[in-house]
């Protein structure tokens, strides 16, 4: 059964509820992230969830945090629930496999997106304007084609229930300042490039991804939230990839396609049929197995 909400009965204060994660405050410098099985598409949370999705996301993020730690520090302390306050251990059934104890940082209010291939909203804009986030790119590109080099294409960070807005990179400086905008662009491109090079050896193309960053008391940028999961990225099968069409995907594109086909995109209160939930779950498991080389066991 999918876990769509957590309830620690005031053992820890719930300070935020995102599209997927419930965030609890442990102390002044530490948070508990619990990845639920909620799933969203087109910035709308579905009525039902995907069994074990939160656990899979948690384990994928843990994998990437370790692999990318040489490029950028991150907020992860541990995924071992025995390190949590004793008061919450009685909720092991809600926390096991889906929890992260993390350091608390000031969050930069920007969705830091890197695109290696033209797809999604970027393809939609390109077809009408010949640009991506207002950036001029080469003419006559085909859907799903690689850019000459990966590009930094930020968006606003919307409140829950609102929609993120694609912006030109120059707008990022107005939101977080020129110094941080330049730093997150450089870091995000390095993170994406290393991840893309690794993933292709596992038969996965990372078409694009979204990072989030925080800042510590010394002004150092830190990688936070989730990283390079099927929720924050487009993962394509390398063995069936070809330009000029949409791709076979390991992420929630299956769900997006179902919503679009049934004219349900951006609509609240949508409940996925069992078949859609099951096939989406299978895509998440495939992504985990392909990337980590580990079998999945819930």
Give per-residue pLDDT as tens, 91-137.
999 999 999 999 999 999 999 999 999 999 999 999 999 999 999 99
Residues of the chain with CATH 3.30.200.20: 14-104
Query: Of 3.30.2180.10, 3.30.470.20, 1.10.3660.10, 3.40.50.720, which CATH number belongs to 107-250?
Result: 3.30.470.20
Give per-residue pLDDT as tens, 239-270.
999 999 999 888 787 898 899 999 999 999 99
Mean pLDDT score, 173-177:
96
What is the reported pLDDT for 10?
A: 80
What is the reported pLDDT for 250?
A: 86
The conformation of residue 35, written as its DSSP 8-state character, comes to: E
Give per-residue pLDDT as tens, 188-209.
999 999 999 999 999 999 999 9
For tokens 């059934």, name the residue: 93
Please give the Cα distance from 69 to 67 (Å, whole number).
6
How many residues are present in the chain?
298
Please give the Cα distance from 176 to 178 (Å, whole number).
7
In sequence order, what E strands does the chain have?
Answer: 14-17, 21-27, 30-35, 40-41, 44-45, 76-78, 99-103, 106-107, 110-117, 131-132, 135-136, 146-152, 155-156, 204-215, 221-224, 233-237
Residue 160 has pLDDT above 70, yes or no: no
| pTM passes above 0.75 | yes
Mean pLDDT score, 135-148:
97
Query: Of 3.30.390.50, 1.10.10.60, 2.60.120.10, 3.30.200.20, which CATH number belongs to 14-104?
Result: 3.30.200.20
Residue 160, CA distances (Å) to 20, 34, 195, 244, 279 in order = 11, 17, 28, 34, 26
What is the reported pLDDT for 202?
A: 96
Least confident among 1-15, 86-100, 147-161:
147-161
Give per-residue pLDDT as tens, 49-73.
999 999 999 999 999 999 999 999 9
Residues of the chain with CATH 3.30.470.20: 107-250
What is the reported pLDDT for 159?
A: 65
Give per-residue pLDDT as tens, 263-292.
999 999 999 999 999 999 999 999 999 999
What is the reported pLDDT for 157?
A: 83
Give per-residue pLDDT as tens, 212-222.
999 999 999 99
Confidence of residue 33 (pLDDT cuts 50, 70, 90): very high
Confidence of residue 163 (pLDDT cuts 50, 70, 90): low
DSSP of 250-297: SSTHHHHHHHHHTT-TT-SS----HHHHHHHHHHHHHHHHHHH-PPP-
């Amino acid at each position: 059964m999918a876990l769509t909400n957590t309830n620690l009965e005031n053992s820890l204060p719930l300070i935020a509820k995102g599209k997927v994660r419930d965030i609890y405050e442990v102390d002044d410098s530490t948070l508990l992230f619990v990845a639920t099985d909620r799933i969203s598409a087109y910035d709308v949370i579905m009525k039902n969830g995907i069994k074990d999705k939160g656990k899979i996301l948690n384990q994928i993020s843990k994998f990437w945090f370790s692999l990318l730690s040489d490029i950028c520090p991150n907020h992860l302390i541990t995924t071992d629930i025995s390190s949590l306050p004793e008061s919450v251990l009685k909720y092991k059934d809600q926390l096991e496999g889906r929890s992260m104890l993390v350091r608390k940082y000031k969050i930069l209010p920007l969705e830091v997106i890197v695109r290696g291939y033209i797809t999604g909203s970027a393809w939609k804009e390109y077809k009408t304007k010949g640009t991506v986030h207002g950036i001029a790119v080469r003419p006559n590109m085909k859907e799903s084609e690689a850019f000459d080099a990966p590009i930094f294409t930020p968006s606003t960070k919307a409140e829950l229930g609102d929609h993120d807005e694609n912006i030109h990179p120059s707008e990022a400086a107005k939101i977080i300042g020129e110094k941080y905008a330049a730093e997150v662009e450089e870091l995000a491109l390095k993170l994406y490039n290393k991840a893309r090079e690794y993933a292709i050896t596992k038969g996965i193309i990372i078409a694009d991804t979204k990072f989030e960053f925080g800042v510590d008391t010394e002004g150092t940028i830190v990688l936070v939230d989730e990283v390079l999961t099927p929720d924050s990225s487009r993962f394509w099968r390398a063995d069936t990839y070809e330009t000029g069409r949409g791709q076979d995907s390991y992420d929630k594109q299956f769900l997006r396609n179902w919503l679009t086909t049934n004219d349900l995109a951006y609509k609240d209160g949508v409940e996925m049929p069992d078949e859609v939930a099951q096939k989406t779950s299978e895509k998440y498991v495939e992504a985990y197995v392909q990337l980590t080389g580990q079998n999945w066991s819930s």
